[in-house]
Amino acid sequence: MKPLLIAVLVAAPSVALAQYPATPPPAEPLSPARFPPFQQTVLANGLKLVVVENHSQPVLSISLTLPAGSVTDPTGKEGLANMAAQLLTKGAGERSAEQISAAIEGVGGTLAADAGSDFLTINADVLSPQAQLAFDLLADVAVRPNFPAAELELIKTQTLSALQLELSQPVALASRFFLSQVYGTHPYARRPTPASTGAITREDLLAFQRRRLRPGGGLLVIAGDITLARARSLVTSAFRGWTGRAPAAAPFPRVPVRTAPSIVLVHRPGSAQSNIVVGNTTFGPADPQYYAARVANQILGGGPDSRLFLNLREQKGWTYGAYSRLDRPKGVGTFQATAEVRTEVTDSALTELLRQMTNLGFTPLPDSELAGARSALVGSFPLTLETATQVAGAVAQARLLGLPSDYLQKYRTRLSAVTAAQVRAASRVVMQTRTPLIVVVGDASRVYDKLSAIAPVSLFSPDGAPLDPAALTTRTIALDLDLAQLIPARDSFVVTMQGKPMGFQRTELTKSANGFEFREETRIASLMQQTTTVEMAGDASVRTVAQTGKTQGTDTHINISYAEGRVTGDALVSARPEFRQLTIDTMVTSGTLDDNVVQALLPALHWARDASWTLSVFSAGQNATQTMTLAVTGVETVQVPAGTFEVYRAQMTGGPATIYFMITTEAPHRLVKVSLVGVPLEFLLAR
Amino acid sequence: MLTRCICVALLFVTTRVAAQDPGKVPVETYTLDNGLTVILSESHAAQIVSVNVWYAVGSRDEIPQHTGFAHLFEHMMFQGSAHVKRAEHLQLIERAGGGLNGSTETDRTSYFETLPSNRLNLGLWLEADRMRSLAVTDSNFTNQREAVKEERRLRVENRPYGAAIFEGPQDLFDPESCFPYSHSVIGSMDDLNAAGTEDLKAFFDQHYVPNRATLVVTGDFSPANARALIEQYFGDIPRGSKAAPVACSQPFNTGARRKKLHDPNASLPAVLLMYRTPAEDHPDVPALTLIGILLGQRESSRLNQRLVRETRAAVSAQAVPGIFGPRRGPNFFLAYAIASQGVHPDSLEALLTGELARLVEGNITDEEVAKARNAYRASVIHSRQTTMDLAEVLQYANLFLGTSEAINTDFARYMAVSRNDLIRVAKTYFRPDNSLTIVVTPPPAQPDGATP
């Protein structure tokens, strides 16, 4: 072996090559860039025109924005602006919906309209040789929409379905509750409901179009392979005769003033995660503190280099992502910090979010963090302006929000000048950490108590109806049991694996002084053995479960009791490939069954050919309640060692595996066979 | 009206050859001594540069008991290397004003940075440092395994139809004859729990080597400077072993498969119909792409017209070939619909299969073929607008079509597809015995007045 020094010398290349650097290479000089050029003019009908020329690709993107967003929706007709926008392309001028989509998509283009809170926007994207077609279609849909009755009916059906779908989407739910609570009576709180959707008529849509879809105050932005002269001539001829200006919208009411923290908890039973939103309203778009607030937001939760991400994801591993943002509409905006976290850590994550927000406003800010956030925002600005469409979008946003004319040109300089003191001050303004609104969408039965310790909680169902917290602990899935069918009995099953006998299960149901007791003992070759004792009250509700066993040589156990709407105890269970020690302390609804009692209670169900039941089942092994479905899928004859029986075949789904139970059609119902889908294991009644 | 129509038609005819084909992309490809493929494409439209590395490794390269490794590495790759501390990669890029991400598919893993053009050196150096010296440590592994589990909860367990979309399609392929495509990209949490850091290290050493990687640089840079930096940063990373062959001998047309899924997150039933399709370089792929467009993409597509608009059986209906990305092995074509309220999944399934049957019966018009071609043309042009997208297209051409130059030739294959090609291809693949049907059912509705 050579001495190290010689080895290094021998290995070194004889020609001097540039060394591999051990530290990040420094920035090279960058020639200063101005904001990409654009041209603007105002047409005779009051429509502002902005053109961003770029001939590198044969593409053209046109965007017409009018001050006709959902803030103009009449009370009781929430959703009108958006429905109108969706219907603009569903029949206009001489063209039907099919003809419009066939025309634009036939040339590989897109045409779509959408309404947000402040504005309604119609976008057309085409290859530049189709500019004429794009303007013809755009003018038709903006000026001559027909709102056909059949299309209105269809869009209503679709909107109702979408509202229904939203109830199952935690992110959408969290946002909906946040906006409605934080804005109160301000129009930004308005959201369509099934009732307001149903109330919208064709006359409403026509009136909306006549009043609101006017060129005055509107903005037409054209980006791509076109000149200003050609754009002007296309626009002038396409929109000939379109005049007027929408009446000014009523001034917005003030946003509610918050005086205390509060939590809105949206109950989503069985949710694996909690979606958390923490925030408040901020200020108008031209507020001078915007730049410092942007930097503050960047430091807190603007991206993967921010405190929330580094803390909640990288350090704690609680979430896939945690971010914050400043929304900047034409009126008063919002600050929101969001995280989607495991149910178990909901309260810890919320506390941490609040702590991080408070720290930013009240503790010193390291220079390196300030410099990092500023350079991130300044450096990323040009990266958002790569295509003509992006440039046009930035210009349009500045114009629509009424920002100063030099806003885009000065944006980077102003960000660069933000100081640490300004960041702290701005963060105290945009993060109201003493009075935040907190929205949590998750399984309230598992998080209600812990959240109540942080701030007062009001509980809602996803459709917006207030829920009584007592509902979390009352019977939600009432299982109708025929207790007379719970007769003391002993059964013995042979357990087969791929058809070969490998073990047994013995069960025994007895009446006790206070109710029932169910005992079972299972042994499957050397794989596992267990003994379970379940104590039940007189109404067959579970009191305690005690289980001891051995799985692949390791001792396992479950010791839990059910009382006052909670299940508590501990368990050591096999969670392949390892074993898991669990401390169990969870809210359960009183109709909840323990997974170990399902088998014992089967005879007490009201069996019939088309019977089905929804069961709420707590599994200590998973430390979770699952909603399962048990449904009779047929009647058949089975042969088992104990004899031949006519049985109901019932399928249980919703748990980790689908299970089939075969139970005699004749009362007293006796379990005859159990099989699992995907596992070659069967339990056959032996005697 | 007539006059206007003729004008539009004339304009269409006279300009389409000249202006509508995607322009030629400049491409310069070479290979370092250690086998690293480098593709450069210069454009000075904006002061932006993209650095993009594809490793030719995805979930298809995983062996039983090690599923989920490729995707786990997408996380591990941001955990630091010899000269980059944990989370510093994100920090350096972010503070330079850049953007970054990674993505894992069955056939490749992609990492990219988009930066102001004076920071090309930073993007290249960060990619080189993790290629040469990724920190595969116990603590990084444990930490990122938790992040992956969280991602799985987010994407699969907590999202309507998540399980059907992410963990349904692999049932088209059997573990015995086609393990590479019979497991999901996110993999098994049991496998990740059971894995040791040594297993991960072995996976890294086997796959994350220069000879299995391709580096693409697009945008505002000087090629001479880029070449010198690439040689300096990547040149001395040792070559690794050759890729092990990936076997999938699964035959097509082996019988219809069905699966029922109960989805506690869903509020409406859905039907997903999948058909096995060939690898990306197969001559039938352009036709399958165009069928996807005319059958199930956008407003005027058949599925939207028939299922959503005419019969109102569905709230949405789409068709997508290769939804999880292109493959060098068998892929699948997905057509799916989410039922309108009150529509039974059986009726929805009948409508959906009916639309596939119409294609097989040859019921396709020339207008539809022209529309699909135009839509494809526009999508190709739009896919080159940003340096990052262009880099991904160059990587695609290189890995799946065999050469980066294909970016300038592949388009013609799609324009040459005829109506008869579409019918023949529909007949070949859209056979019941080549399909998997997944029916997703929501939980039973709560009776009125019941507490949810």
Q: Which residues of B fall within a CB distance of 8 Å from A270? A: 264
On whether any CB of chain A is under 8 Å from the CB of B379, the answer is yes
Q: Tell me the pLDDT band of A585, cut-offs 50, 70 and 90.
A: confident
Test B121 with A25 for CB contact under 8 angstroms. Answer: yes
Structure tokens at B313: 């059986």
Which residues share a beta bridge with A624? A619
For residue B20, the model assigns a pLDDT of: 64
Q: Tell me the pLDDT band of A577, cut-offs 50, 70 and 90.
A: low
Which residues, 6 or more positions from A298, have their beta carbon under 8 angstroms from its beta carbon?
A306, A373, A376, A377
Query: What mean pLDDT do residues A506-510 have?
Result: 92
A300 by DSSP, 3-state: which?
helix
- Give the integer Cα–Cα distance in Å for A504 and A493: 6
- Give the integer Cα–Cα distance in Å for B125 and B134: 13
Q: Tell me the pLDDT band of A470, cut-offs 50, 70 and 90.
A: confident
Q: Tell me the pLDDT band of A506, cut-offs 50, 70 and 90.
A: very high
Q: Tell me the pLDDT band of A478, cut-offs 50, 70 and 90.
A: low
Evaluate whether A126 touches A63 at the Cβ level (below 8 Å): no
Q: Choose between A162 and B329: higher pLDDT.
A: B329
Mind telling me how many Å the CA of A26 is from chain B's nearest CA?
8
Question: Does residue A102 carry a pLDDT above 90?
Answer: yes
Out of A361-370, A629-638, B107-116, B426-435, least confident range: A629-638
Out of A516-530, A571-585, B195-209, least confident range: A571-585
For residue A471, the model assigns a pLDDT of: 73
Q: Which residues of A fall within a CB distance of 8 Å from B160? A: 165, 168-169
Kind and range of the H or E run holding A570: strand A566-575
Q: How many CB atoms lie within 10 A of CB B277?
A: 25
Mind telling me how many Å the CA of B147 is from chain A's nearest CA?
6
Predicted confidence (pLDDT) per residue in A310-337, tens digit: 899 878 888 878 999 999 999 999 999 9
Which residues share a beta bridge with A110? A125
List b or e across A122-139, with b for residues whose CB sees 16 or more CB atoms inside 10 angstroms. bbbbbbbbbbbbbbbbbb
Q: Residue A100 CA to chain centroid, in angstroms?
A: 33
**Distances from the Cα of A174 to the Cα of A171, A438, A478, B165, angstroms:** 5, 10, 29, 24
Give the strand pairing for A437-442 and A457-460. Answer: unpaired
Task: Tell me which chain A residue has its CA closest to the CA of residue B305.
Answer: A98
Test A378 with B97 for CB contact under 8 angstroms. Answer: yes
For residue B348, the model assigns a pLDDT of: 97
Mind telling me how many Å the CA of A246 is from chain B's nearest CA?
30
Count residue pairs from A and B with Cβ separation < 8 A. Answer: 247
Query: What mean pLDDT do residues B43-59 have?
Result: 95
For residue B445, the model assigns a pLDDT of: 60
Question: In residues, how long is chain A?
Answer: 687
Nearest to A375 among B97, B228, B308 (CB): B97
The sign of the CA dihedral B69, B71, B75, B79 is positive
| A contact test, residue of B132, B294, B385, B390 with most A CBs within 10 A | B385
Angle between helices A367-383 and A420-430 (to 10 degrees): 80
Q: Choose between A60 and A272: higher pLDDT.
A: A60
Q: Residue B343 CA to chain centroid, in angstroms?
A: 32
Out of A250-254, A430-434, B129-133, least confident range: A250-254
Q: Which one-letter amino acid corresponds to residue B171? A: D
Percent helix, percent strand, percent coil in chain A, to nearest 5: 35, 35, 35
Query: What mean pLDDT do residues B51-55 have?
Result: 98
**Distances from the Cα of A194 to the Cα of A113, A156, A464, A468, angstroms:** 22, 9, 12, 23
Structure tokens at A394: 């930035």
- Give the integer Cα–Cα distance in Å for A554 and A574: 9
Out of A8-17, A105-114, B299-308, least confident range: A8-17
Query: What mean pLDDT do residues B51-70 have?
Result: 96
Residue with tokens 């109702």, as numbered in its chain:
A160
For residue A317, the model assigns a pLDDT of: 83
Question: Does residue A76 carry a pLDDT above 70?
Answer: yes
Evaluate whether A397 touches A408 at the Cβ level (below 8 Å): no
Task: Tell me which chain B residue has its CA closest to the CA of residue A155.
Answer: B309
For residue B400, the model assigns a pLDDT of: 98
Give the residue from A539, A536, A491, A542 showing the smallest Cα distance to A517: A536
Query: What mean pLDDT do residues B249-255 have?
Result: 92
Strands (E), A406-539: 437-442, 457-460, 489-497, 500-511, 515-524, 528-537
Evaluate whether B170 touches B182 at the Cβ level (below 8 Å): yes
Structure tokens at B218: 């697009």
Mind telling me how many Å the CA of B237 is from chain A's nearest CA?
10
- Give the integer Cα–Cα distance in Å for B101 and B99: 7
Query: What mean pLDDT do residues A382-389 have?
Result: 89
Degrees, nearest 5: CA angle B17-A109-A151: 145
Out of A279-293, A659-673, B26-40, B227-241, least confident range: A659-673
Mind telling me how many Å the CA of A122 is from chain B's nearest CA?
16
Structure tokens at A93: 């001028």
Predicted confidence (pLDDT) per residue in B339-380, tens digit: 988 899 999 999 999 999 999 999 999 999 999 999 999 999
Structure tokens at A636: 């058949």
Task: Tell me which chain A residue has its CA closest to the CA of residue B195.
Answer: A577
Q: Tell me the pLDDT band of B450, cut-offs 50, 70 and 90.
A: very low
- Give the integer Cα–Cα distance in Å for A540 and A563: 14
Q: Which residues of A fall within a CB distance of 8 Å from B158? A: 170, 271-273, 340
Evaluate whether A582 touches A560 at the Cβ level (below 8 Å): no
Question: Does residue A16 carry a pLDDT above 50?
Answer: no
Q: Which residues of A fall within a CB distance of 8 Å from B232? A: 17-20
- Give the integer Cα–Cα distance in Å for A272 and A276: 13
- Give the integer Cα–Cα distance in Å for B393 and B409: 13
Q: Which residues of B fall within a CB distance of 8 Å from A36? A: 46
For residue A281, the model assigns a pLDDT of: 97
Question: Does residue B5 carry a pLDDT above 70?
Answer: no
Structure tokens at A72: 């103009």
| Three-class DSSP labels, chain B | CHHHHHHHHHHHHHHHHHHCCCCCCCCEEEECCCCCEEEEEECCCCCEEEEEEEECCCHHHCCCCCCCHHHHHHHHCCCCECCECCCHHHHHHHHCCCEEEEEECCCCEEEEEEEEHHHHHHHHHHHHHHHHHECCCHHHHHHHHHHHHHHHHHHHHCCCCHHHHHHCHHHHCCHHHHHHHCCCCCCCHHHHHHCCHHHHHHHHHHHCCHHHEEEEEEECCCHHHHHHHHHHHHCCCCCCCCCCCCCCCCCCCCCCEEEEEECCCCCCCEEEEEEEECCCCCCCHHHHHHHHHHHHCCCCCHHHHHHHHHCCCEEEEEEEECCCCCCCCCEEEEEEEEECCCCCHHHHHHHHHHHHHHHHCCCCCHHHHHHHHHHHHHHHHHCCCCHHHHHHHHHHHHHHCCCHHHHHCHHHHHHCCCHHHHHHHHHHHCCHHHEEEEEEECCCCCCCCCCC
On whether any CB of chain A is under 8 Å from the CB of B12, the answer is yes
Residue ranges of B 423-442 with Cβ closer than 8 A to chain A: 442
**Distances from the Cα of B201 to the Cα of B82, B132, B206, B241, angstroms:** 15, 13, 9, 14
* Mean confidence (pLDDT) of chain B: 90
Which residues share a beta bridge with A40? A50
Query: What mean pLDDT do residues A380-398 have?
Result: 91
Q: Tell me the pLDDT band of B266, cut-offs 50, 70 and 90.
A: confident
For residue B167, the model assigns a pLDDT of: 86
Q: Which one-letter amino acid corresponds to residue A257? A: V
| A contact test, residue of B189, B300, B380 with most A CBs within 10 A | B300
Residue ranges of B 51-80 with Cβ closer than 8 A to chain A: none
For residue B8, the model assigns a pLDDT of: 31
Test B150 with A614 for CB contact under 8 angstroms. Answer: no
Please state the φ and ψ torsions of residue A414, each to the nearest 5 degrees: -70, -40
Question: Does residue B17 carry a pLDDT above 50?
Answer: no
Query: What is the percentage of chain B residues whose pLDDT exceeds 70?
Result: 94
Q: Which residues of B fall within a CB distance of 8 Å from A591? A: none
Q: Which residues of A fall within a CB distance of 8 Å from B117? A: 30
List b or e across A208-239, with b for residues whose CB sees 16 or more CB atoms inside 10 angstroms. bbeebbbbebbbbbbbbbbebeebbebbeebb
For residue B87, the model assigns a pLDDT of: 80
> Residue A477 carries which DSSP code?
S
The pTM assigned to this predicted structure is 0.76
Question: Does residue A32 carry a pLDDT above 80?
Answer: no
- Give the integer Cα–Cα distance in Å for A459 and A439: 10
- Give the integer Cα–Cα distance in Å for B173 and B171: 5
Q: Tell me the pLDDT band of A180, cut-offs 50, 70 and 90.
A: very high
Q: What torsion do the CA atoms of B355, B361, B365, B366 make, to the nearest 10 degrees?
A: 130
Give the residue from A180, A265, A593 showing the smallest Cα distance to A451: A265
Evaluate whether B121 touches A25 at the Cβ level (below 8 Å): yes
Question: Does residue A401 carry a pLDDT above 90?
Answer: yes
**Distances from the Cα of A331 to the Cα of A71, A174, A251, B414, angstroms:** 10, 21, 10, 48
* Mean confidence (pLDDT) of chain A: 90
Test B122 with A25 for CB contact under 8 angstroms. Answer: yes
Out of A152-166, B302-316, B397-411, least confident range: A152-166
Evaluate whether A582 touches A620 at the Cβ level (below 8 Å): yes
Query: What mean pLDDT do residues B211-229 have?
Result: 97
Out of A58-67, A264-273, B11-20, B95-104, least confident range: B11-20
- Give the integer Cα–Cα distance in Å for A218 and A65: 6
Give the residue from B315, B317, B316, B323 showing the smallest Cα distance to B275: B323
For residue A573, the model assigns a pLDDT of: 81
Gyration radius of chain A's alpha carbons:
33
The complex scores an ipTM of: 0.86
Out of A272-286, A302-316, A615-629, B87-101, least confident range: A615-629
For residue B4, the model assigns a pLDDT of: 31
Question: Does residue A547 carry a pLDDT above 90?
Answer: yes
- Give the integer Cα–Cα distance in Å for B198 and A151: 61
Evaluate whether A180 touches A460 at the Cβ level (below 8 Å): no
Predicted confidence (pLDDT) per residue in A404-453, tens digit: 989 999 999 999 999 999 999 999 999 999 999 999 999 998 899 999 99
Residue with tokens 């999938």, as numbered in its chain:
B248
Q: How many CB atoms lie within 10 A of CB A356?
A: 24
- Give the integer Cα–Cα distance in Å for A328 and A300: 17
